[in-house]
Amino acid sequence: MIDMSAMNAVHITPGLDRAYVEGGATWGDVDAATTPFGRATPGGLISMTGVAGLTLSGGIGWLRGTHGLSCDNLVAADVVTADGDLIHASETENADLLWALKGGGGNFGIVVNFEFRLHPVAEELIFCAPAYPEERANDILPKWRDYMATAPDEISGLAEFSTIPGDPAYPEPTWGKRVVTLATVYDGPAEVGERVTQPLRSLGEPLLDFSGRMSYRALQSIYDEMFPKGRDRCYWKSTYLAGLDNGVVAEITRRVATRPSEMTLASIWKFGGAVQRVAADATAFGDRSMPFMLSLDAIWSDPADDEANIGWVRDVWRDMQLYSTGRLYLNFPGLGEGENLVRDAFGAETYARLQMVKRAYDPHNLFHMNQNILPR
């Protein structure tokens, strides 16, 4: 284990088009440095997430429709290799390593500095998030799917199953109610976003509506309270869906209803826009044709409940393979699901190419406590 948390500096270039981010920084560190200048680069959904881990396995966030994944915005990186050399990876120098860092995980060395492309971001965005009763999911989700099919690139969102906690922050009559929330962000002026996302708030009577205008930096921290560091036990696993017809919706709704913990989330993420315009061989993240991802995010408190929650995720994930592309997101991989998990996540062609890069930069597999790629 190498603790890099003290290496968290973020530097912005005078032209406001690049950010240099040290390997121990969080996305909160990045947003604190970039947003005062009206700039951002795509991060995740929680400010405490490490930049390195998220980026190296892809990085799915609120700006994906307009600017792609975190790894798509990685311009260059400085890497300490297994033999102790500090090398630079860019389009013109060690380009094979840069390709591998864009989705191949922490297999090739220790990234001590990232260079990201920056983009203008509106001073105020709209976060649209009506929460409908979960018993209406089979009616709500097809309407959400059809809306997202024709939504502009500025729209990025997910449909999330959850339970309203017994917390004074929420109206007491809603405590313990299960909901499906259509969490959506419009990457543009809030007044435009409100008009564009209004149909999602008009699908009936929401139990709650978390919608509101906020800065990008505030948006990036709204999920933080749900995942306080060190409090909970978590087991998250994902699969890319080949489609989301009404039958798939019904099956997801049926299986999610059996979750053993009320803290558990399950989310359907929509892909499109800039994410899908990147060629399959342009990054190690690979093929982008999947229209949706199902993420099963089990969260619980008592170690005695480990077996029930982990078992639930694995059972649902296994059964959902009937509707899957066969691949998964390696930031939500589960654990111990078999020796072919990583190979299947990338696909045979991309995995073989990654093996060649691994052999060039870490031939003895020093960096193996990860979603490991074996040197070819």
Query: pLDDT tens-digit profile of 80-139?
Result: 999 999 999 999 999 999 999 999 999 999 999 999 999 999 999 999 999 999 999 999
Alpha-helical (H) ranges within the chain are: 27-34, 51-56, 64-67, 95-101, 137-150, 190-197, 216-219, 246-256, 306-320, 341-346, 348-361
Same domain, residue pair 202 and 317:
yes
Residue 62 identity (one-letter amino acid): W
Query: Hey, what are 141's tokens?
Result: 């989700």
Percent of the chain whose pLDDT exceeds 90: 93
d(CA 344, CA 60): 20
Same domain, residue pair 24 and 113:
yes
pLDDT given for residue 341 in this prediction? 86
Same domain, residue pair 170 and 74:
no
Percent of the chain whose pLDDT exceeds 70: 99
Residue 371 lies in a domain: no
Domain-ending residue, one of 88, 105, 120: 120
pLDDT given for residue 276 in this prediction? 97
**Please, which residues bridge with residue 78 across strands?**
88, 113
Domain-ending residue, one of 98, 120, 142: 120
- In terms of residue numbers, what domain contains 226? 125-323
In angstroms, what CA-CA distances link 14 with 17, 30, 198, 360? 8, 16, 38, 35
Same domain, residue pair 74 and 168:
no
**pLDDT at 227 > cutoff 90:** no
Same domain, residue pair 16 and 143:
no
Same domain, residue pair 220 and 312:
yes
**pLDDT at 311 > cutoff 70:** yes
Same domain, residue pair 173 and 293:
yes
pLDDT given for residue 337 in this prediction? 72
Mean pLDDT of 186-214: 97
Q: Phi and psi (nearest 5°) for 291?
A: -80, -25
d(CA 124, CA 216): 7
Q: Which residues contact 51 (CB under 8 A, 6 or more apart)?
A: 21, 23, 25, 26, 27, 29, 30, 43, 70, 114
pLDDT digits (tens, 9 = 90+) for 130-186: 999 999 999 999 999 999 999 999 999 999 999 999 999 899 999 999 999 999 999
Mean pLDDT of 336-362: 90
* Contact criterion met (CB below 8 Å) for 338 and 372: no
Same domain, residue pair 76 and 151:
no
Residue 100 lies in a domain: yes
Same domain, residue pair 116 and 202:
no
Q: Number of structural domains, the chain?
A: 2
User: Would you place residue 336 in the very low, low, confident or very high pLDDT band (cuts 50, 70, 90)?
Assistant: low
Domain-ending residue, one of 120, 152, 179: 120
pLDDT digits (tens, 9 = 90+) for 10-69: 999 999 999 999 999 999 999 999 999 999 999 999 999 999 999 999 999 999 999 999
**Residue 149 exposed, middle or buried by CB count within 10 Å (0-12, 13-18, 19+):** exposed
pLDDT given for residue 292 in this prediction? 98
User: Would you place residue 282 in the very low, low, confident or very high pLDDT band (cuts 50, 70, 90)?
Assistant: very high
**pLDDT at 339 > cutoff 90:** no
What angle, 0 to 180 degrees and rounded to 10, lies between the N-to-C axes of helices 137-150 and 246-256?
130
Same domain, residue pair 139 and 73:
no
Same domain, residue pair 56 and 148:
no
The enclosing domain of 69 has a CATH number of 3.30.465.10
The enclosing domain of 304 has a CATH number of 3.40.462.20
pLDDT given for residue 230 in this prediction? 84
Same domain, residue pair 73 and 215:
no
pLDDT given for residue 159 in this prediction? 98
Residue 354 lies in a domain: no
Percent helix, percent strand, percent coil in the chain, to nearest 5:
35, 25, 45
* Contact criterion met (CB below 8 Å) for 177 and 133: yes
